């Protein structure tokens, strides 16, 4: 179930951009979607899923275009923000900092455009939260992801 | 800035690279409390990508180790900035993540990532000993052979 967002700057921004956050996905195995430790929230890997449907499946560069990959990264980040909302009792304005983002792209050797794919998530986060969402990151091309999804995002947030 | 670690760098004849600017919409590091989270670093020298290719194909384990060492130098360069220029504030290398662009058959990722791990211990001694992982991947930015990210504790 999607968590009800409290009114605030981030919620307004989502509305202005016409974004409806996906329902946070249930974990695909014996793990939790997120764990809070003090002010840090550690999320499980998030993929391009919307309300149970696998939206971007296949390898970026062959099955899917770079633009698709970028959109897959963005949708993965939307799922992450949906879980973050749950970790913040619906108050996204408690987001203080995007601490770290690792983006895994399902691709072939020699693909060469990983940063462009990851930008889909990085741009979304900065669009919603502004400068506090600027983050360190790591771009990785991998041979396979769960259900052959095109992307997986691993994120750490700092919250109030 | 003169300090114990700067003296050690001089002794080892190591010059840290200028902290390189990220190549897309992200920042080189974020500090949360005592922890510094650094972006994945790729092997660069004077701004140029080095060791482009896959290990086990065009490049050898030794190439990979040299690439990992360059990644580690970049990490330390960013930590120095995060410490306001004083690397004596570096308390602990907490965690390194090693990604090796390698062929499916290649099995020696740990040896490759040792290029970074060894450098941390060479420079920082016991404080340079860390937890880590080493995985083989299909592709990395600019097609380089190794990417390494890190978490550091500072005073």
Backbone phi, psi, residue B17, to 5°: -70, 155
Model pLDDT, residue A73 = 98
High-pLDDT (> 70) share of chain A, % = 99
- Contact predicate B27/B36, CB 8 Å: no
Touching check for A130 and chain B: CB below 8 Å? no
Touching check for A60 and chain B: CB below 8 Å? no
Model pLDDT, residue A3 = 80
Touching check for A70 and chain B: CB below 8 Å? no
Backbone phi, psi, residue B149, to 5°: -115, 165
Q: Is the pLDDT of residue A4 over 80?
A: yes
Our CA-based measurement puts residue B78 at a distance from the nearest CA of chain A, in whole angstroms, of 11
Confidence of residue A109 (pLDDT cuts 50, 70, 90): very high
The residue assigned the tokens 């080095």 is B50
What are the chain B neighbours of A107 within 8 Å (beta carbons)?
138-139
What are the chain B neighbours of A60 within 8 Å (beta carbons)?
none
Confidence of residue B22 (pLDDT cuts 50, 70, 90): confident
High-pLDDT (> 90) share of chain B, % = 90
Q: Which structure tokens are listed for A51?
A: 């309300």
Q: Is the pLDDT of residue A15 over 70?
A: yes
Confidence of residue B70 (pLDDT cuts 50, 70, 90): very high
Stated pTM of the model: 0.93
Confidence of residue B31 (pLDDT cuts 50, 70, 90): very high
Instruction: Please indicate whether, in this complex, the C-beta atoms of A122 and B24 are within 8 angstroms of each other.
Output: yes
Ramachandran quadrant class, B28 (left: phi over 0; alpha: psi -120 to 50; beta: rest): alpha
The more confident residue out of A19 and B1 is A19
Model pLDDT, residue B20 = 65
Q: Is the pLDDT of residue B1 over 60?
A: no
Confidence of residue A1 (pLDDT cuts 50, 70, 90): low
pLDDT 10s digits, A32-79: 999 999 999 999 999 999 988 999 999 999 999 999 999 999 999 999
- Contact predicate A150/A72, CB 8 Å: yes
The more confident residue out of B71 and B18 is B71
Model pLDDT, residue A28 = 83
- Contact predicate A76/A57, CB 8 Å: no
Range A152-156 average pLDDT: 97
Confidence of residue B81 (pLDDT cuts 50, 70, 90): very high
Q: How many CB atoms lie within 10 A of CB A53?
A: 8
CA B30 to CA A59: how far, in whole Å?
A: 31
pLDDT 10s digits, B124-142: 999 999 999 999 999 999 9
Q: How far apart are the first and last CA of chain B?
A: 16
Touching check for A160 and chain B: CB below 8 Å? no
CA B132 to CA B115: how far, in whole Å?
A: 13
Confidence of residue B17 (pLDDT cuts 50, 70, 90): confident
pLDDT 10s digits, A78-87: 999 999 999 9
Q: Which structure tokens are listed for A1?
A: 């179930």
């Amino acid at each position: 179930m999607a968590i009800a967002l409290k009114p605030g700057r981030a919620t307004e921004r989502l509305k202005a951009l016409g974004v409806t956050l996906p329902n946070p996905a249930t974990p695909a195995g014996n793990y939790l979607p997120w764990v809070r430790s003090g002010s840090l929230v550690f999320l499980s890997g998030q993929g391009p899923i919307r309300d149970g449907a696998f939206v971007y499946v296949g390898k970026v560069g062959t099955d899917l275009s770079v633009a698709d990959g970028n959109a897959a990264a963005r949708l993965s980040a939307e799922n992450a923000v949906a879980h973050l909302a749950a970790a913040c009792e619906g108050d996204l304005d408690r987001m203080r900092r995007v601490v770290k983002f690792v983006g895994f792209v399902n691709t072939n050797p020699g693909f060469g455009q990983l940063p462009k794919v990851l930008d889909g998530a990085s741009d979304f986060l900065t669009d919603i939260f502004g400068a506090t969402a600027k983050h360190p990151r790591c771009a990785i091309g991998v041979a396979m992801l769960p259900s052959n999804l095109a992307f997986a995002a691993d994120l750490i947030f700092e919250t109030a | 800035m003169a300090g114990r670690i700067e003296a050690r760098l001089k002794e080892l004849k190591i010059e840290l690279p200028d902290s390189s600017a990220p190549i897309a919409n992200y920042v080189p590091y974020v500090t949360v409390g005592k922890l510094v989270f650094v972006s994945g670093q790729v092997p660069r020298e004077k701004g140029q990508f080095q060791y482009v290719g896959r290990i086990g194909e065009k490049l050898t384990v030794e190439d990979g180790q040299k690439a990992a060492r360059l990644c580690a130098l970049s990490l330390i360069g960013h930590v120095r900035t995060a410490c306001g220029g004083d690397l004596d504030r570096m308390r602990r290398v907490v965690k390194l993540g090693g990604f090796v662009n390698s062929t499916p058959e290649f099995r020696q990722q740990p040896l490759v990532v040792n290029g970074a791990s060894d450098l941390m211990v060479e420079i920082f001694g016991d404080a340079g000993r860390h937890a880590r992982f080493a995985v083989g991947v299909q592709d990395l930015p600019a097609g380089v052979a190794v990417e390494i990210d890190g978490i550091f504790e500072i005073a």
